[in-house]
Amino acid sequence: MDWTFWLEWVLKGFVLCLVLLTGFAYLTYYERRALARMQNRIGPNRAGPQGLLQPIADAVKLFFKEELTPARAYKIVFFLAPIVTVVPSLIIAAVIPWGTSFQLFGRTITLYVADINVGVLYLMSIASIAVYGIVLAGWSSNNKYAMLGGMRSSAQMISYELALGLSFVTAILLANSMRMIDIVNAQSSWWFVVIQPVGALIFWIATLAEVNRAPFDMPEAEQELTAGYHAEYSGMKFALFFMAEYQKMIVICAILATLFFGGYLGPFVDKFWFLGPVYMFAKVFILLFFMIWVRATWPRIRYDRLMSFGWKVLVPLALAVVFITATGILLAQELNNQLYFWAIPFVSIVAAGIAVMMIYRELRRKAYERA
Amino acid sequence: MTVDLILFLILALVSVSTALGMLLSRNTVYSALFLVLNFVTVAVFYLLLGAPFIAMAQVTVYAGAIMVLFLFVIMLLGTEVLPASNILPWQKPLAGGLAAVLAVEAIYLLLVRARSVAQVTSPDVAINSMDNLREMGKVLFSTYLLPFEVTSILLLVAMVGAIVLTKKEKA
Amino acid sequence: MVPVNYYIILSAILFTIGAVGVLIRRNPLVIFMSVELMLNAANLAMVAFSSVYKSFSGQIFVFFVIAVAAAEVAVGLALIVEIFKTKHNINVDEMNSLKG
């Protein structure tokens, strides 16, 4: 372990943070423009060409805003909560591979910060401690609305973590490894989204709830809770919460791309190393568009329905999908027949169809009862 | 002094002081937060000891789920600070004395019998750092299959119990 | 490599702090947290021994302990919530009757 090793590490971490921070700034711009398009507006277009300097203008505005601390707030926790929210959203990106490797000054430089054999578990554990920032922000503000927002988010995030973990399990089963690199390489012939579309869908829904995005943005529902857990925050502290949310969006799209959409793989990626980050960026960009699209399309769902959807639909469905995947892989191995392997997507889609039917019938029954 | 030892000493200091913080805070929320820090440092100890799976499980289950549940209940009941009570005034000094006896006894035994612990080297399964997850999974699902299944049933029973306890009875 | 004795001594200290917490605190939630701390101290000792003996058994027992602790917390917190509902107080000194 010479000093160049440490230098490489520090530089890679620095570049990753820089990419995420810039990504956050331009994701806000991207979202505002895309939402505007969907709502027949133009969106921010004044600052710079096509409004490209808008994020900088926003940052300047936030810097100069006055910061208020409520008189009865728990000061230390109130100060720490935004930091506790931002840090997980940055460090979770450490295990995501952005490409293969390249030679520089005779050294092989790999395009990921850390390659650990429990990569997926690392994602899981960081995702599970991300809830603290929001809960503590809500509690330390000493404000009923903020507190309710924090409690909602803790209940919601713990509930959806189960489905999230189970959808991770489907990818682990298909790749036969918990290392992110192995998971990407296992998708060289087929992306996992083809083999296990329902697993990818469950991941998508569960992560929308984990990052408190619409339609699951209950912790910050304006109509019910003014602004939820960050009601008392202003200026840069508020900006940190905002930053954490958007960084989490980027990171989650990157994780989804890695686990189910082939990561950095694409045509000619083993010949030209620089294509890896390009493919990854393109996939993340497209997946982010879907996240924005969801926000523009669906209204917020009611809180009790959110919880019963998570526990009564998503968790059983995820368990069924894990069972189907494991059985398919095992049968294909033991009986040496690839037919069983390719039965996985069809049986999973049937299971998802049954789940949708059950929701539909339940809603119909409730509608009749009301009528 | 190697890097490992320095790291260990710093982390040990952090973990003992967070444990004391948990013990001494008046506010239950601060107690819970100190305990979270303690669990995270213990997870780092697991990493140092070459047990990455246990370290991640520790963070996910203890820090990520159990302590969030604690915080949830503390906030739900609004019992951050309880009034001090003086029902058993002799209890605190007695407890302190007993704890000192326990700590001294444990450390004395460990220091006296330390040599016999350090001498043991009997690798029945070679743990190498990179691929030990697969081996551990094999041991878990062969030698320890029955305990594993019993644990899963225990979790199911606990889940049903928790739901039954907190469920509102329908009139 | 840090000598395993250090880990065991640390584990003993943490266990003692947990035991003191169970004895002197009046808030059942803090008592509960102290129990968790004691479990953790035991886990640390087990993982330390597991790395000395180069065997997975210690780590697997820690895995079971973590699972059982999760179950214990779920039921224990449900009990505390239920006690709060009936008594509107969770101080352990007030829990002196078997009737609800």
Question: Which pLDDT value is given to residue B130?
Answer: 46
Dihedral of the alpha carbons of A278, A283, A285, A289, in degrees to the nearest 10: 170
What are the chain A neighbours of B64 within 8 Å (beta carbons)? 125, 127-129, 131, 161
What are the structure tokens assigned to A16, written together?
A: 């990753």
Single out the residue of A89, A80, A70, A77 nearest to residue A234, CA to CA. Answer: A70
Closest residue to C55, CB basis, from B4, B102, B124: B124
Q: pLDDT tens digits for B22-67?
A: 888 888 888 888 999 999 999 988 888 888 888 888 888 888 888 8
What are the structure tokens assigned to A327, written together?
A: 């059985």
In A124-153, the residues whose Cβ lies within 8 Å of chain B are 124-129, 131-132, 135-136, 139, 147, 150-151
User: C86: exposed, middle or buried (C-beta count within 10 Å: 0-12, 13-18, 19+)?
Assistant: exposed
The rounded distance, in Å, linking the Cα atoms of B166 and B152 is 22
Q: pLDDT tens digits for B89-144?
A: 777 788 888 888 888 887 787 777 655 555 555 444 445 444 577 778 888 888 88
What are the chain B neighbours of A319 within 8 Å (beta carbons)? none
The rounded distance, in Å, linking the Cα atoms of A132 and A127 is 10
Helices and strands: H and E segment counts in chain A:
15, 2
Q: pLDDT tens digits for B2-11?
A: 777 888 889 8
What are the chain B neighbours of A6 within 8 Å (beta carbons)? none
Q: pLDDT tens digits for A152-200?
A: 887 888 888 888 889 888 888 888 888 888 888 888 888 888 888 888 8
Is the Cβ pair B82, C91 closer than 8 Å?
yes
The rounded distance, in Å, linking the Cα atoms of A123 and A255 is 9
Question: Which pLDDT value is given to residue B150?
Answer: 92
Sign of CA dihedral A48, A49, A50, A53: negative
Is the Cβ pair B161, C78 closer than 8 Å?
yes
What does the domain layout of chain C look like in residue ranges?
A: 4-94
Backbone angles phi, psi at A251, to 5 degrees: -65, -40
Specify which residues A104 forms β-bridges with.
A107
The rounded distance, in Å, linking the Cα atoms of A129 and A155 is 13
Question: Which pLDDT value is given to residue B125?
Answer: 46
Mean pLDDT in residue range C68-72: 89
What are the chain B neighbours of A121 within 8 Å (beta carbons)? 52-53, 56-57, 60
Task: Tell me what percent of chain B is helix, strand and coil, each rounded to the nearest 5.
Answer: 75, 0, 25
Q: Contact at 8 Å (CB) between B34 and B14?
A: no
Q: Which CATH class is domain C4-94?
A: mainly alpha
What are the structure tokens assigned to B22, written together?
A: 């948990």
The rounded distance, in Å, linking the Cα atoms of A323 and B142 is 20
3-class DSSP state for residue A111?
Answer: coil
What are the structure tokens assigned to A150, written together?
A: 């924090």
Are A and C touching by the rule of 3+ CB pairs within 8 Å?
no
The answer to whether residue A117 neighbours chain B at the CB level (below 8 Å) is yes
Q: How far is CA A55 from the centre of its chain?
A: 22
Q: What contacts B4, CB < 8 A, 6 or more positions away?
A: B48, C1, C2
Neighbours of A79 (CB within 10 A): 13
Q: How far is CA A293 from the centre of its chain?
A: 15
Residue A58 has pLDDT above 50, yes or no: yes
Give me the amino acid identity at B169.
Answer: E
Nearest chain B residue (CA) to A140 = B29
Is the Cβ pair C75, B161 closer than 8 Å?
yes
Closest residue to A117, CB basis, from B60, B71, B130: B130
The rounded distance, in Å, linking the Cα atoms of A246 and A30 is 11
Single out the residue of A147, A130, A137, A149 nearest to residue A234, CA to CA. Answer: A137
Sign of CA dihedral B151, B157, B159, B165: negative
Single out the residue of A163, A152, A257, A260 nearest to residue A207, CA to CA. Answer: A163
Single out the residue of B158, B136, B169 nearest to residue B65, CA to CA. Answer: B158
Closest residue to B19, CB basis, from C7, C9, C17: C17
Question: Which pLDDT value is given to residue B118?
Answer: 53
Residue C1 has pLDDT above 60, yes or no: yes
Is the Cβ pair A135, B71 closer than 8 Å?
yes
Closest residue to C56, CB basis, from B87, B99, B135: B135
What are the chain B neighbours of C77 within 8 Å (beta carbons)? 69-70, 73, 162
DSSP assignment of A148-197 equals HHHHHHHHHHHHHHHHHHHHHHHHHHHHT-S-HHHHHHTTSSS-HHHH-H
Q: How many structural domains comprise chain A?
A: 1
What are the structure tokens assigned to B12, written together?
A: 């040990």
Q: pLDDT tens digits for A322-371?
A: 998 888 888 888 887 777 778 778 888 888 888 888 888 888 888 888 77
Q: pLDDT tens digits for A203-229?
A: 988 888 888 777 777 666 666 666 777
Single out the residue of A87, A33, A81, A86 nearest to residue A55, CA to CA. Answer: A33
Q: Please, where are the H alpha helices in chain C?
A: 4-24, 28-53, 57-87
- Buried b / exposed e over B45-57, threshold 16 CB at 10 Å, is bbebbbbbbbbbb
User: Which helix (DSSP H) or strand (DSSP E) does residue A296 occupy?
Assistant: helix A275-297
The rounded distance, in Å, linking the Cα atoms of A141 and A133 is 12
Q: Judging by DSSP bridges, how do beta strands A101-104 and A107-110 pair with one another?
A: antiparallel
Residue A310 has pLDDT above 50, yes or no: yes
Residue A80 has pLDDT above 90, yes or no: no
Nearest chain B residue (CA) to A152 = B72
Chains that touch B (3 or more CB pairs under 8 A): A, C
User: What number of residues does chain B have?
Assistant: 171
Q: How far, in Å, are B1, B41, B44 from residue B11 at the CA level?
A: 15, 6, 8
The rounded distance, in Å, linking the Cα atoms of A158 and A163 is 10
Mean pLDDT in residue range A18-25: 85
Helices and strands: H and E segment counts in chain B:
8, 0
Closest residue to C66, CB basis, from B32, B62, B120: B62
The answer to whether residue A264 neighbours chain B at the CB level (below 8 Å) is no
Tell me how close the Cα of B119 comes to any Cα of chain A, in angstroms.
30
Is the Cβ pair B54, C47 closer than 8 Å?
yes
Which of B60, B66, B80, B127 to mutate against chain A (most A CBs within 10 Å)? Answer: B60
Is the Cβ pair B69, A158 closer than 8 Å?
yes
* Structural domain boundaries enclosing A189: 3-370
What are the structure tokens assigned to B25, written together?
A: 């805070």
3-class DSSP state for residue A112?
Answer: coil
Phi-psi region of C9 (alpha: psi -120 to 50; beta: other; left: phi over 0): alpha
What are the structure tokens assigned to A74, written together?
A: 């728990």
Question: Radius of gyration of chain B from Cα atoms?
Answer: 21
Residue A232 has pLDDT above 80, yes or no: no
Which of C15, C49, C57, C63 to mutate against chain B (most B CBs within 10 Å)? Answer: C63
Look up the pTM and report it: 0.86
Closest residue to C66, CB basis, from B12, B57, B74: B57
The rounded distance, in Å, linking the Cα atoms of A241 and C63 is 34
Question: Which pLDDT value is given to residue B17?
Answer: 92
Whether the upstream peptide bond of residue A82 has omega within 30° of 0, thus cis, is no
Q: What number does CATH give the domain B1-80?
A: 1.20.120.1200
Closest residue to A154, CB basis, from B59, B71, B131: B71
Neighbours of A222 (CB within 10 A): 11
Is the Cβ pair B136, C24 closer than 8 Å?
no
Question: Which pLDDT value is given to residue C40?
Answer: 92
Specify which residues A102 forms β-bridges with.
A109
User: Which helix (DSSP H) or strand (DSSP E) does residue B154 occupy?
Assistant: helix B145-166
Question: Which pLDDT value is given to residue A340?
Answer: 77
Question: Which pLDDT value is given to residue B1?
Answer: 59
The rounded distance, in Å, linking the Cα atoms of C64 and C84 is 30
Whether the upstream peptide bond of residue A215 has omega within 30° of 0, thus cis, is yes
Question: Which pLDDT value is given to residue A333?
Answer: 83
Single out the residue of B46, B63, B65 nearest to residue B132, CA to CA. Answer: B46
